[in-house]
Amino acid sequence: MFTAALFCDIQCFVFLQYTSLEKLGAAFHEAETRNEQVSKKTTVQKDMRCNIKRLFTLAIGVFAATLVIISFSKDNYEREWKQGPQSNEARHAPVGHVIPDAPIPSSPSFPTGQNSLPHQPLPPSLGEKDLSNPFNFLYPSNKVTLRKLFELTKDVDFDLLKRNECKTNTTLSKYWENSQQRYVPEDDNWERFYSHIGSCSVYSDDQLIDNLLHDLNTSPIKHVHIMDGGTQVKFVFTFKNDKQAVFKPMRFGRDYESDPNHFYFSDFERHHAEIATFHLDRVLGFRRAIPTVGRVLNITTELFEKAEKKLKKTFFFSPAKNFCFVSRCDYYCDTTHAICGLPDMKEGSVQVFLPDESAVPRKHNRSPYRRTYSKKNQVAEWQSSMSYCTDKVKTKKQYAHGRRLLDLVDIHILDYLIGNQDRHHFESFNVFTDLPSYAIHLDHGRAFGRSDIDDDDIILPLRQCCIIRPSTFKTLLDFYGSPKSLTKALHESLSKDPAHPILAYKHYPAMERRLSKVMAYILECIESRGVSEVLVPEYNNPDVSDVDQNDEDQSEEHQDKKDEKKTV
């Protein structure tokens, strides 16, 4: 009994000791684990402190190297920035806009930097007027060329030739009344303009056009929507009378020069180029350009509040608190190229819509002097062969007879004077079915981009074909030899626009220089081929039949739809 009790006590003692030892071992193991964790944490902290020191040392080294690089290249960066274009209008901009210093002449050992984009200045029509003399330059008129041209053409009866250039001159309203007994309404200036579209020119009544320009500049705007198919920002204005016009907003000042690294098909469009070309076309007596006028708008009340939903979403306030918009288009419709007001006033060009094609159909003709519109292959066949007109143009039925080839030369003379390289198609009215159609002068938004360069490729149709309409030659000759020069007549016409001054004065000597070259090229043609072969009211190639000319026109138009303009 005693032995059993003793055994039980011993058993309990052993169990208690075992339990104590187990707890002691567990505590020892836990302490050992905690020591290891503390040791690892200390090691990690040491490594982190070491890495932080290394990173700090590296950052100091990079910062010091950056300072050294900047100090070495400061002059070059400053020179490249200062070579960017500047605008006279920008100097009159409100306080707070940074204006670059005067340009520093570039050293021959350093290449010219890329042009920077200037900020958008106050419209010149709202700023201070430039009172300097726009004609303070030497005219490049060559007295020898002038004397030879007068001598060679002294026996030409220009009045007779001019009457044969367009033998039937009627208006749309008269033509429809006589042929279809249709009545054309004339309730407003838009309808009067449409009814007076002629078979020889887009318009002939200057007073009617002046009234239309006044309405385009002052009529209340009812609705604004994005113009479909545009490569750059264009709006369609619908006025209170439900008539429409195209609006191109001002993006840069008048002095802005195209970046020489930009291709002609990707250059910025200039609203004032459309206005100036309309006036030049009028001064030259063509009257085939679409009436266009300048207008200064309130972005808030005349654009934003009248805009369609998808256009309204693109408006915003810039960090300078100016009201801006982006719109939607193929090129330059992003925040980087946003168009902003100062703070919400914006100038632009307003061009009247031509009649709807369902009522007054038009032909879309591919120009034989179309450029490649390619970054890889930049030289077209006509740019490399002086026999191109004889071999490839005069042999085509649509150019072998009638006025179309002469219209093509007129277009390129106009394009050469304004420096417009972007000529791929031209349109003509297809409503006077039994009368020859003429080329409408459209799309001049990329003109007046450079005043220091003359692209002589533009005038190649004149040099290669060696024909010119007598009335065109007589007008150019009169301006070339008259005290009232071409640019003086243009300046007088432009001064009537509400947004004048329209052109930077540096474009005036450029136009006179180009006119002098045109007259020299005409003299070359007359001396080599004779007056009677060069000055023609209509062109006729006896080696090409004039039968089925319309069929070839239709096939060409069908080909144009398959071969739209591409940039590669």
- H helix runs in 314-436, sequence order: 388, 397-400, 404-418
Q: Which two tokens stand for residue 160?
A: 């007779």
255, 267, 410, 422: which is the annotated catalytic residue?
A: 422
Both tokens of residue 196?
């007076």
Q: Which of 370, 369, 459, 371 is nearest to 412 (CA)?
A: 459
Query: Cis omega before residue 343 (within 30°)?
Result: yes
Residues 6+ away with beta carbon under 8 Å from 382: 368, 369, 388, 389, 392, 460, 464
**Distance set, CA 177 to CA 55, 180, 382, 429 (Å):** 88, 6, 43, 17
Is 351 annotated in a binding site? The answer is: yes
Q: Answer positive or negative: Cα dihedral of 354, 355, 357, 363.
A: negative
**Residue 36 region by backbone torsions, left for phi larger than 0, else alpha for psi between -120 and 50, else beta:** alpha
Helices (H), 261-349: 271-283, 309-312
Token pair 């408006």: residue: 315
Between the alpha carbon of residue 223 and those of residues 198, 239, 308, the distances in Å are 30, 7, 7
* Rounded Cα gap, residues 7 and 180, in angstroms: 137
The alpha carbon dihedral of 57, 62, 63, 68 has a sign of positive
Do the beta carbons of residue 279 and residue 192 sit within 8 Å?
no
- Can you tell me the distance from the alpha carbon of 13 to that of 18, in angstroms, rounded to the nearest whole number? 9
Position 406: which residue type? L
> Is 427 marked as a binding-site residue?
yes
Q: Is 559 helix (H, G, I), strand (E, B) or coil?
A: helix
118 preceded by a cis bond (ω within 30 of 0): no
The 10 Å Cβ neighbour count of residue 82 is 17
* d(C-alpha 76, C-alpha 82), whole Å: 10
Contact between residue 365 and residue 557 where contact means Cβ atoms under 8 Å apart:
yes
Distances (CA, A) of 447 to 256, 366, 442, 539: 12, 20, 12, 29
Amino acid at 20: S
Alpha helices in 482-539 (DSSP H): 486-494, 507-529, 531-534
Q: Which residues pair with 221 in a beta bridge?
A: 239
What is the C-alpha end-to-end distance of the chain, expressed in Å?
A: 113
Q: CA-to-CA distance for 125 and 121, rounded, in angstroms?
A: 11
Are 441 and 414 spatial neighbours (Cβ–Cβ below 8 Å)?
yes
Task: Compute how many other C-beta atoms are within 10 angstroms of the C-beta atom of residue 158.
Answer: 15
Whether 422 sits among the annotated catalytic residues: the reply is: yes
Is 443 known as a binding-site position?
yes
The verdict on whether residue 98 carries a ligand-binding annotation is no
| 347 and 251 Cβ atoms separated by less than 8 Å | no
157 is known to lie in a ligand binding site: no
269 is in an annotated binding site: yes
Which of 432, 393, 408 is CA-nearest to residue 167?
Answer: 432
What does the block give as tokens for 366?
Answer: 């591919």
Query: Does 527 belong to an annotated binding site?
Result: no
Known catalytic residues?
422
Annotated binding-site members for ATP: 232, 248, 269, 351-354, 427, 443
Annotated binding-site members: 232, 248, 269, 351-354, 427, 443
